Amino acid sequence: MLKSFLRPMPAALLLAASLLTGCASTTQGGAIGANRSQLLLVSEAEMAQSAQQYYAQQNAQARAKGQLITSGAEYERVHTIMRRIVPQVAHFRADALNWKWQLVLINQPEINAHVMPGGKVTFYTGIIRQLKLSNDEIAAIMGHEMAHALREHSREKASVQQASGLAISLGAKMLGVNQGQMALIGMGKKLALDLPFSRSMESEADALGLELAARAGYDPRAALTLWDKMAATGDNGPTWLSTHPAPASRKEEMAALLPKVMP
């Protein structure tokens, strides 16, 4: 009798079980009410290790080119903003206060910034200089990128890719799908799942970032002027083909949230 209960679980049931056990939420909702269950199949430790390796490699390459900035007036300006925002992360997740928050500037014209799991912050001088950012606008970017790290969007995205990839693979085997059909399925998955999911994460980071900056005493209305500047520099192609929402729609969504965060 015991052997009958030890038969291998069908792959579809394994997938369903993993989806059920992998749902959680990494943060509290805050004043904006960002409450949502997340699929987290990939471990937090695995993502943190990958982030640390990438950060070290990025910094080593920038240092070798003489582009790594870790002191000076421009660095201290951004570092001061980061230090003001970091205590506010406790409103979303208390454990993030214990992250080893670290900032580097990279002297490149790239209009970019990112915050990796564990609080590893990178700003490119290009985004500060070319957009002529105010402190409030830097805070809007900092809050947005911190929100990605707090919500562990990279971990969630990897988990969704893992689950959807397994589901497609199982379905293809069951239905006898050929290679050409798999390519079409992959394109459909990108348009119907991957890109909309990426855009929703960006909108979520906009909202959480707005609150983080406001709690730190920065004017959240600066996010609106920031996206006016970003719209003037970016490629405004079709939103449905982009990983990010259109600047105009982002600005509209953040404007609607201002009454919640202005206090």
pLDDT exceeds 80 at position 207: yes
Burial 125-160 (b: 16+ CB within 10 A, else e): bbbbeebebeebbbbbbbbbbbbbbbbbbbbbbbbb
106, containing H or E segment: strand 102-106
pLDDT tens digits for range 94-140: 999 999 999 999 999 999 999 998 999 999 999 999 999 999 999 99
Q: Is the dihedral of CA 57, 62, 66, 71 positive or negative?
A: negative
- pLDDT the model gives residue 9: 40
Rounded Cα–Cα distance for residues 40 and 153 (Å): 10
> What is the rounded average pLDDT of the residues 171-190?
59
Rounded Cα–Cα distance for residues 131 and 5 (Å): 64
Alpha helices in 179-262 (DSSP H): 179-189, 195-215, 222-233, 247-261
For residue 259, give both structure tokens: 């009454």
- pLDDT the model gives residue 255: 94
Rounded Cα–Cα distance for residues 122 and 178 (Å): 43
Burial degree of 241 (CB within 10 A; 0-12, 13-18, 19+): exposed
pLDDT exceeds 80 at position 76: yes
Query: Could you say which of 137, 145, 152, 156 is catalytic?
Result: 145
- pLDDT the model gives residue 57: 95
| Better-scored residue on pLDDT, 85 or 179 | 85
Dihedral in degrees, nearest 10, Cα atoms 211, 260, 251, 150: 30
User: Reading across the β-sheet that carries 68-69, which strands appear in turn?
Assistant: 68-69, 102-106, 120-124, 113-116
Rounded Cα–Cα distance for residues 15 and 167 (Å): 7
- pLDDT the model gives residue 152: 86
Mean pLDDT (the chain, rounded): 81
SS3 93: coil
**145: annotated active-site residue:** yes
Residue 169's pLDDT band (cuts 50, 70, 90): low
- pLDDT the model gives residue 34: 67
| Better-scored residue on pLDDT, 253 or 242 | 253
- pLDDT the model gives residue 43: 87
Between 222-233 and 247-261, two packed helices, what is the crossing angle to 10 degrees? Answer: 170
Q: Which of 40-44, 91-95, 134-138 has the lowest mean pLDDT?
A: 40-44
- pLDDT the model gives residue 234: 65
pLDDT exceeds 50 at position 146: yes
pLDDT exceeds 80 at position 20: no
